[in-house]
Amino acid sequence: MASGKSDYLENKILGYIYTGAAFTAPGTVYLALFTAAPSDTGGGTEVSGGSYARLSKATTTSFFTLSGNLITNAAVFAWPDATASWGTVTAVGIFDAATNGNLLHWGDLTANKTIASGDRFEIAAGELDITED
């Protein structure tokens, strides 16, 4: 499974650690669904239409847990029911804004999921993993 940290986030972390450049972590992150995965430089094809919107989650322990070098979701992440086809979801991205914004992390799904009108996309608790290797 391909996944990664965006070049934007890598540069922010390096600047903060080695030059003292200010970086404020987002208090909320936004999970985006993709039909074509982004890469470390961004891009990809984000789902659109059919009542799709990025899912917002506060960066707190009620939504995320840290153990060793692994962050995982502590609760189910569920998007509203699609009101039209979203296509085949292949990847998830995490952004710092509800629209546009900066990609932070991204990853391919273990299994692609086709979302038709009336379907709901969910990520079960413990199934979204972000690691720092």
How would you class 76 by CB atoms within 10 Å of its CB: exposed for 0-12, middle for 13-18, buried for 19 or more? exposed
At 80, the amino acid letter reads P
On whether the CB atoms of residues 33 and 92 are closer than 8 A, the answer is yes
Does position 120 have pLDDT exceeding 90, yes or no?
yes
- The H-or-E segment that residue 14 falls in is helix 7-19
pTM of the predicted structure, to 2 decimals:
0.93
Tell me: the pLDDT tens digits for 59-114?
Answer: 887 889 998 888 999 999 999 999 999 999 999 999 999 999 999 999 999 999 99
Domain assignments of the chain as residue spans, ordered by start: 3-131
CA distance 61 to 44: 29
Tell me: the pLDDT tens digits for 1-21?
Answer: 457 899 999 999 999 999 999
CA distance 24 to 58: 14
**Residue 7 DSSP label:** H
- Residue 71, beta-bridge partner list: 66, 130
pLDDT grade, residue 131 (50/70/90)? Answer: confident
Question: Which pLDDT does position 2 carry in this prediction?
Answer: 56
Question: Which pLDDT does position 62 carry in this prediction?
Answer: 86
